[in-house]
Amino acid sequence: MILAIDIGNSNVTLGLYADGNWKHFHRLPTKTGQQSAMFYQMGCTSWLMEQGIEAAAIEQVAVSTVVPALRRTFEQLSLHLFGREALMVSPEMYQNLRLKLDRAEELGTDLFANAVAAHYLHQQDCIIVDFGTALTFTVVDKSGQLLGVSIAPGLKTAIRSLFQKTAQLPEVPLEMPASAIGKDTVHAIQSGILVGYVGLVRHMLSSIRAEVGPQYMAVATGGLSAILHPLQADFDAIDPHLTLDGLRIIAEETVKTIIP
């Protein structure tokens, strides 16, 4: 059984994979500080107990993090709970994916995992759109060459920034409005952000394809990928667990490398 852990800026997502399928998922808020180690240890332990999973059943732990402060926390958690070293994912670990970037070491491991999963699962030219704290577009061709990444503020980030920087605007729920013309303050913000992001995503997909070719399929992932309903027809695949699949694939490939 593989435990995949994706540590993002807003949430830590965990998935248990066994017998060719994802069995259980869990999400915890991202926390740093002195109490974070105890928080995650208790959270993981409680979740596994609820699912009836014993620590000995975990054969591999694969971790992606964009929060450097939590790297050591999860390295220690893996050793303490499962008695094994966590596989801390980095681009150097998957040699079949050639990185075409000026600063490859700056590529987030979550985006790297997304590219690995899309390449492995689809074997086609892909644009992966990840709706997370940041809205990212990762471009990988069918040969496994990662061409580059585009990054914009995510939906929650945009709404939270608007709320924090203005005195009279409320923080609003992420719900797609029925109209592009706001009838009250909440509706106006939802329209400006959510309808606006539909246009942003479509324009980015169009611009990327104009550069690399119209054959590139679009794959959506991330916890917020289901919110922008008008975009569903713009994607060839919607996979909310793509990052975890990438971690799982990297873990499996690493074992094959070590044990031919």
Cα 246 to Cα 64, 78, 114, 150, 168: the distances in Å are: 10, 19, 6, 19, 42
Beta strands 2-7 and 134-140, pairing class: unpaired
If you search the block for the tokens 């713009």, which residue do you land on? Answer: 234
Buried b (16+ CB within 10 A) or exposed e, 112-145: bbbbbbbbbbbebbbbbbbbbbbbbbbbbbeebe
Q: What are the tokens at 197?
A: 């992001």
Instruction: Give Cα separations from 204 to 138, 199, 255 (angstroms).
Output: 11, 8, 37
The CA angle 48-16-257, to the nearest 5 degrees, is: 130
Q: What phi, psi does 166 have (nearest 5°)? A: -125, 145
Residues with a known catalytic role? 110
> What distance in Å separates the CA atoms of residue 36 and residue 95, rounded to the nearest whole number?
33
Q: Could you tell me where the DSSP H helices lie in the chain? A: 36-51, 71-82, 109-122, 155-165, 185-190, 196-212, 242-258
Distance of CA 219 to the CA centre of its chain: 12
Cα-based angle 157, 158, 160 (whole degrees, multiple of 5): 65
